[in-house]
Amino acid sequence: MRVEVDVPKCVASGQCVMIAPGVFDQRDDDGLVVLLDDHPAPEHHEGVRESVAVCPAAAIRVAEQ
């Protein structure tokens, strides 16, 4: 799995951070998404997929590899 984020599309809702904190974080100054791991371990895949599904800005993409 390869994860990509489109930071300019992010609306800082923080849903991804709550669902997959090992993969996503938020910047302190504006709350926008920070991708911590673009190739997360299998145990994080379900959380990443859920984050993609709930992101209100559709700012997260996943490519299965």
State the residue range of the domain holding 41.
2-63
Under a CB-based contact definition with an 8 Å cutoff, are residues 13 and 5 in contact? no
pLDDT value, residue 16? 98
CATH classification of the domain holding 32: 3.30.70.20
Q: What is the pLDDT of residues 13-65, one digit of tens each?
A: 999 999 999 999 999 999 999 999 999 999 999 999 999 999 999 999 999 87
- Please indicate, yes or no, whether the overall pTM of this predicted structure exceeds 0.85: yes
pLDDT value, residue 21? 97
pLDDT value, residue 65? 75
**Domain tally, the chain:** 1
How far is it, in rounded angstroms, from Cα 52 to Cα 30? 20
pLDDT value, residue 4? 98
pLDDT value, residue 26? 98
